Structure 1
Amino acid sequence: MSAAVRAGIDRLAACGHPYLKGRRIGLVTNPTGITADFRTSVDVCSQLADAELTALFACEHGLYGQRQAGEKFGDETDERLGIPVFSLYGEHKKPTAEMLQTVDTVIFDIQDLGVRFFTYLSTLMYVMEMCALHGKSLLVLDRPNPLGGTAVEGGLLRKGYESMVGAWTMPIRTGMTIGELARMANDLRGLKCELDVIPLEGWTRAMEFTDTGLPWMMPSPNMPALDTVRVYAGTCFFEGTNLSEGRGTTRPFEWIGAPWIDGRQLAERMNGLGLAGVHFHPVYATPTFSKHQGVLCGGARLFVSDTAAYESVRTGLALLYEVQRLYPDRFEWLAPPKEGSRYFIDLLTGGIRCGN
């Protein structure tokens, strides 16, 4: 059965694009760059008849999704194609003039989550800036917002809190596709990037990813399924605390916990709040890496019972608040990495810390 939606890469593979005729291409992608019939964006772009793929660009998690969160890496060479793979998650977060020297047009094809602090959005913002600065055109291949395009959550990022987990003023949950965001940012930021977007075909704002018929590739090693995406905009706040956000287990972001948490107590407290569309259940798990590696943690798992009513950001902030109330002597915000820098929780929320 054919997919109900055609992503930008499917339309590029079928029809090409005027930007690319006789051009040298740099491709920003990862394992989510895939067509409905399972061709990679790298293969599609390397086989375009009227263009030459001269460079690849890798953001967080690497070109093949092989790297864990926060793992920095350097430039490489693609052994199959014999072209450079420039790192945008190491010494440089933005493509440099040297990286763009053999490129006329940059293509961006990555599945986003529609959540501000998922770093691919920041990479897009940085690529737009550098394309504008160095006179390169940019072609964004649109992909669906996994949770649809009807809901927006969370406040806007405040000026002065820009970072890799929030490069521009936008809400936490955007309610937009990555192509829509690119157009809006180019306009409102006044970047004057020579930008075009190959839009989705057949997508409506009420569609979730499972409605599209497109293949789901994990956007990162800790984003295995749509259930994970649904809670991520709220539970990711715990990255800024001394609690585990579930990394190192089979249900990252779907539960939070620590060695000193009574899972039953926390679940009962959260269920007593009557938050819409969600049930909390006690869990006990031992992360195999990241925070509390090898130590049994108690915690609470989120089960979304009503997707239309559930508010991920509100739920995550309420969970943060209740954990602080229950365990005031054990809960901690992770300290800034260096003196004078901001707390990570402040970068995640965009400048408003919950509680102490």
Structure 2
Amino acid sequence: MEYVQERIATLHEFGEGDGMSDALARDAAAAVGETAIVVPMTVREYESPAAERVLGELERLEPAPAAVFVPVRADDDEIGTFREWLGSFALPTRVLWCNAPGVDALLAEAGLAGDFGKGRDVWLALGPAADEGDSVVVHDADARSYEAEHVHRLLAPLTMDYEFSKGYYARVERNRLYGRLFRLFYEPLVRTLADTHDAPIVDYLGAFRYALAGEFAATDELARRLRPPRAWGLEVGTLGDAYEIAGFGGTAQVDLGRHEHDHRAVAGDAGLERMSREVAAALLRVLEEHGVDPDYETLPERYRAVGGELIEGYRADAAFNGLEYDPADERDQLARYAGSIAPPGSDARLPRWTEAPFAPSDVLAAARPWRDRRIGSRSQD
């Protein structure tokens, strides 16, 4: 347990007393009724124990949220059963079929066709969600330890006039350290850049305890001004926008305890190695936009040196806590991730909703085509 404050307000879970003060707890609970929650899913989450828990916990919120938007990527023959399952929960659910033909057509007509992934899915929901609530909470659906109280914790800073709130948590389970992409890629890369670049944006990105967490809350105004990368760079891109809009003084991070997530392989199209490439592109683009000019020729090797020092720290920490630890495997991951460090290339981010070429209502119509014709099963959305 510690109580260190970073450059941004850091709200700890000390485990003492009764939690939030009565007044703050009431404010956070009341805010739920004016909040839209976004929970992106793919077929991977369909009827999974983690997603079942997340939705079951959201059912416990009182008052109920203004809406729960579930942007879903699924094939035509899968969306009906997906909707039926989501409709079985007692929630004000709005299912958005992110790869519906109408959505693809809408984006193509606006010149926004291109790659798809988590970032695009969340963006499609952010516009409608910001119209539905005074605040927006976004979180992943793969946390087996999720609790409804996490919504209250994320919203609490917004009731204290912060504009952006980021969740952080420990990734320790199965007697091992997880959170590998953050520990072995993001953290050593940001530290490496901080060694040679004295820039506020580097300080901001380095202040987050778990920058790659999928859980955050934002005011509706901030949510409308996010420009998400289309895939796995979503979390880092969000931090870059939050820096511009909220800055150090308008940002808080909140302790969400210990999370147990589904785990990914390192290699493969859905693995951490591919994710590292997209995280690197998003991170380096944010830095370049704010005046940081990395030396790409030397950066990978310097990153590996800093990462090696961190691995020694992780080894000692694991031993201190009686955890299993494989330094050789971690060094292998470090080498793999080093290959992701390169200039970010062309910018394919989606626009701010304040500048979008169509309205959130157009997305709702395109992403819920069953409103106009028979596709899949009946549902409350």
Asked which structure has the greater RCO (Cα within 8 Å, sep 6+), the reply is: 2
TM bucket (normalised to shorter chain) is: 0.3 to 0.5
Tell me the TM-score normalised to structure 1 length: 0.35
Instruction: Tell me which protein shows more helix as a share of its residues.
Output: 2
